[in-house]
Amino acid sequence: MTGRTGGAGVRVVTWNLWWRFGPWADRRKAILAVLRELEPDAVGLQEVWVVDGGENLAAWLAGELGLHCAWAPSPAPGRWQRRVGDDTVGIGTAVLSRRPVVERAVLRLPAPAELDDGRLALYARIDAPGHPVPFFTAHFTSGRAASAVRREQAAALAGFVDAHRHGTAHPPVVTGDLNARSDSPEVRLLRGPGAGCATPGSTPSRARRPVPGTPPTRTWRTWTRTAGRARGSTTSTWARPAPVASAGSGRCGGRVRAPSAASGPPTTPRSSPT
């Protein structure tokens, strides 16, 4: 997914990495190859795995690509672990960035007890040229019958964005796996009624306020890779090589604020949405 804001090209990728489902070991190198080809400025990652006392996939990708990393582990990985029969592997959400991450926060998204598997929204303020970028990535609850839950999560995410968009002229950038169609009530809540989608390389459209008290949003249309090539491209303006390529790369450093409670892959087929 690429888009332009304020006349500057920024390449943004959002990707659900499908955790440890399927041939995860082989998929790891494929994920790295795709990100290396795309050369993103900022990446929102969902379903990132981490091994107790061992490797963190997001940190490994950051190290290989020379990017900064912000990481938020799920506080409730049990349901995920039972699905793969391994309680030593955690799951979480991450942001990778070519520029330093200077502030972080995490929100545990609301869900009823029977569906709560510790899904998060992660905020990372990126020290980009011109203006800092408030960058967000989120992972909503899956399932066709969970639209009402996702609407609550969308409202919580909108409030989270509003709370952390301060101190910069750059509009918030919100990414993630929302587990919903673009015309669904939960996505419309974030986009605002009548919001348009920009085509690749064009200026994102400004929507009306999606939730009272929250800022206007900008949206991009996403598109898929075909035959190993990404359709459309824009030239990023963030300086290369990455400033952390020679020191500290690959570490998801810094303390993320404790989760706050909200009120109240390559295209491998999957047996059920996550």
Domains of the chain from N-terminus onward: 2-216 (3.60.10.10)
Cα of 161 vs its chain's centroid, Å: 13
pLDDT at 192: 59
Residue with tokens 């919903």: 180
Q: What is the pLDDT of residue 41?
A: 94
* Rounded-to-integer distance, Cα 263 and Cα 241, Å: 42
pLDDT at 23: 84
Per-residue pLDDT tens, the chain, 274 aa: give them: 444 444 457 799 999 999 988 888 888 899 999 999 999 999 999 999 999 878 899 999 999 999 999 999 999 998 999 998 999 999 999 999 999 999 999 999 999 999 999 999 999 999 988 899 999 999 999 998 999 999 999 999 999 999 999 999 999 999 999 999 988 999 988 875 443 333 333 333 333 343 333 334 343 333 333 223 333 333 333 444 333 222 223 346 543 444 444 333 333 333 345 7
Q: What is the DSSP string of the chain?
A: -EEEETTEEEEEEEEE--TTSSSHHHHHHHHHHHHHHH--SEEEEEEEEEETTS-BHHHHHHHHHT-EEEEEE-S--HHHHHHHT-TTEEEEEEEEESSPEEEEEEEEPP--TTT----EEEEEEE--SSS-EEEEEEEPPPSGGGHHHHHHHHHHHHHHHHHH-TT-SSPPEEEEE--S-TTSHHHHHHH-TT---BPTTSPPEEPPPSSTTS---EEB----EETTEESS-----S-SS-TTTTSSTT---SPPPPPEEPP---S---SS--
Q: Which residue in 42, 99, 46 sits closest to 72, CA to CA?
A: 46
Q: How much is the pTM?
A: 0.74
Residue 137: the pLDDT is 97
